[in-house]
Structure 1
Amino acid sequence: MNRRVLSILVDNTSGVLSRVAGLFSRRGYNIDSLTVGVTADPRYSRMTVVVNGDELILDQITKQLAKLIDVIDIKVLEESESVSRELILVKVRADAQNRQSIIAVADIFRAKIVDVAIDSLIIELTGNQSKLDAFINLLEGYEILELARTGITGLSRGTKDVKYL
């Protein structure tokens, strides 16, 4: 199984997300991660979609996406030629005994404590997937109450192949 990260520039209109997701579901493909947000130009949104499959399936997905009328541009974000990040928020049970050790783990990863309660902490961390997974693994000794991940978002490096609108 190969993993592909697609950066898709689309019209910022209602129904686009549904049409893109529908393309995947109709063909029985799974989306591992999906993030969407408006670009600097409010007429357009950028979707970052992570999919797994063999090369034939991944090429077919890319070609089918290109046929959608709302799709302006598709880029495959190769790991060595792009920057990708993900954000997590983790709520950890933190009493007086373990609060400092949890904060120490967060400091090692340059995470931010964004909320402190009597019995918990919420920690924010941004990075690549392996960094976030390593952070979560180190927190396994503590009680994770809630966890939210945004999914991957990314851009290609440099100005080569930039779609100016």
Structure 2
Amino acid sequence: MSTTTAQPRWLSDEEQRAWRAYLRGSRLIEEALDRDLQAHGVQLTEYEIMSMLSEAPGRRLRMSSLADLVVQSRSRLTHTATRLERRGWVVREACLQDKRGVELVLTSAGFDAVREVARVHVESVRRSVIDNVPPELFSCLGDAMDAIRKALAPDGGAHPAVVEEAAAHEPAN
């Protein structure tokens, strides 16, 4: 093992500008989306979980897969699931396939709640992000974030059932 330390590849001025803009912008977006949802009694992390469940087959996902999908630790997901359970929006059940794991299941009340809050969320996304970025830049942002996702989570971080279900809802070309 070498005792010399390699020099870091410092960011250029333009890379530093872009990186800092990303950090500030992403935090401001998350704050705005969370603030708008909290005005309706839901946190952004809660909405994201409910939204993923609403799109999954049977409105259910294994807790470990859901944690990967929403990029949360299993511990954090467990705490959020507990809050959602108290509201009657989700229940935990043994996995249908192997009975060893635990799945989070969106209840009918949870499905109704996510449908109602989705209206708030989509308007917030439009107001906070889409309306502020020209379409060609927004497309580039999506491409850039997808490249990052592919590098950091090559399997997509998505449960295969979610990927299959999402593909089933895509418009035909």
Give the structure with the larger helix fraction: 2
Q: What TM bracket, shorter-length normalisation? A: under 0.3
Give the structure with the larger strand fraction: 1
Please give the TM-score of this superposition, normalised by the length of structure 2.
0.23
Please give the TM-score of this superposition, normalised by the length of structure 1.
0.24
